Amino acid sequence: MHGKPNIFNTDQGCRFTSLEFTGLLKDNGTQVSMDGKDSWRDNVFVERLWKSVKYEEVYLHAYDSVCDAKQGLEKYFVFYNQNRPYTAFDDKTPNEFYFNNLPAMQKTVQSSEATSTADHPQREKYTVLKTRILDIPD
């Protein structure tokens, strides 16, 4: 397990705004963060992903157990990332697009790091985090 999150970010759906849910987060020391009302554009890529997950996997299968659902979703995400090409990625899969562009992304992050942290010292932590995420060893 990964432990409890420091921040939990959601939309303003009723399941996330209930006192029971927000209270559980706060009682466990997790900060609640919510997107603005009707701001689906904030998470447009994730919203599109979940639409695909629902219509291409979840709604097509009647899982017998939570274990079956987990296995089905694991298989789907392998398919989604490794076998499903996208026109937005020049007909490459998400994995092909990401790993083919990784060196360019690393250079962009590293070159912007100096100006970003010099002009905005509060961004230093964020920039370092981005560098760690993108700096994947061969």
Where residue 108 falls among pLDDT bands split at 50, 70, 90? low
Mean pLDDT of 79-88: 92
**Number of alpha helices (DSSP H) and beta strands (DSSP E) in the chain:** 6, 2
Token look-up 């061969």 returns 138
How big is the chain, counted in residues? 138
Where residue 3 falls among pLDDT bands split at 50, 70, 90? confident
pLDDT at 91: 94
Whether 11 and 37 have beta carbons less than 8 Å apart is answered as no
Domain ranges of the chain: 1-38, 49-84, 94-134
Average pLDDT, the chain: 77
Q: What is the DSSP string of 67-117?
A: HHHHHHHHHHHHHHHHT--BGGGTTB-HHHHHHHHHHHHHHHHHHHHHHHH
pLDDT tens digit sequence for 6-48: 888 887 778 888 889 888 889 989 988 887 766 666 667 778 8
pLDDT at 138: 39
pTM of this prediction?
0.52
Cβ-defined contacts of 45-49 (< 8 Å, 24+): 49/80
